[in-house]
Amino acid sequence: MSRIHDQLDELGITIDPQLFELALVHRSYSYEHGAIPHNERLEFLGDAVLGLVITDHLYRRFPDHPEGRLAKLRAAVVNANALADVARGLEVGPLLKLGKGELASGGADKSSILADAFEALLGALFLSAGRDAADAFVHTLFDELVETADGLGAGLDWKTSLQELCATLEVGAPTYAVTESGPDHAKQFEAVALVGDQVFAAAGGRSKKQAEQGAAKAAFEALSA
């Protein structure tokens, strides 16, 4: 039995087997097998369900937070990297049905594919068991992430925090220089933040966004000091 089924069993949730299988079919597999149905419609639904559940939770959990802070919190926990990490924890990758090209390029561990598959699975769960079940599933996986994000302060979004700091210091808006290396299935990115004529420490990541956040953190801490 898969890790995700174990999680659903703990919550007493039953998911329709056919919808579960459909949620794991990537379009690359569909194209190689006679254009069979794939998971993108379920992903569309799951994206909306996840956004609603998280937004409702943030609104109720933090009654004193302004809209801007709530938006940053939501962005911190509902993004491709965060969803992919949740999917990895549920061991979704090995269950995916991928085309030969995606398999060869490491698609089972690509953040974009894993994030989409997680949303598709949530869509399948919503259709199978309803809103209450979707709520329970999302809360189990995301509540701790929300609490951690709320405690990050400037680290909730280093790029925005750096931009705000630069405006306060009147040193001009930050820019980023990004380089990438490695094969398609294992790309690595490195970024540096530039403010005026200052270049700050480089940071790496598995995505351009992740690397830029790391670079913004380095610049923010240096300028703050």
Q: Which pLDDT tens digit goes with each residue over 57-95?
A: 999 999 999 998 899 899 889 988 899 999 999 999 999
In one-letter notation, the amino acid at residue 62 is F
**DSSP H or E stretch at residue 193:** strand 188-195
Gap between the Cα atoms of 119 and 112, Å rounded: 11
How is domain 158-224 classified at the CATH fold level? Double Stranded RNA Binding Domain (3.30.160)
Q: 180: annotated binding-site residue?
A: no
How is domain 3-156 classified at the CATH fold level? Ribonuclease iii, N-terminal Endonuclease Domain; Chain A (1.10.1520)
Where are the chain's structural domains? 3-156, 158-224
Q: Which pLDDT tens digit goes with each residue over 135-175?
A: 999 999 999 999 988 887 666 788 888 988 899 989 999 99
Q: Determine the Cα angle at 75 with ends 115 and 160, to 5°.
A: 130
Q: Which pLDDT tens digit goes with each residue over 138-148?
A: 999 999 999 98
Task: Give the number of other CB atoms < 10 A from CB of residue 107.
Answer: 22
The model carries a pTM of 0.78
Gap between the Cα atoms of 53 and 36, Å rounded: 30
Active site residues: 47, 119
Q: Which pLDDT tens digit goes with each residue over 19-54?
A: 999 999 999 999 999 999 999 999 999 999 999 999
Q: Which pLDDT tens digit goes with each residue over 96-116?
A: 999 999 999 899 999 999 999
Q: 116: annotated binding-site residue?
A: yes
Q: 190: annotated binding-site residue?
A: no
Cβ–Cβ < 8 Å for 211, 191: yes
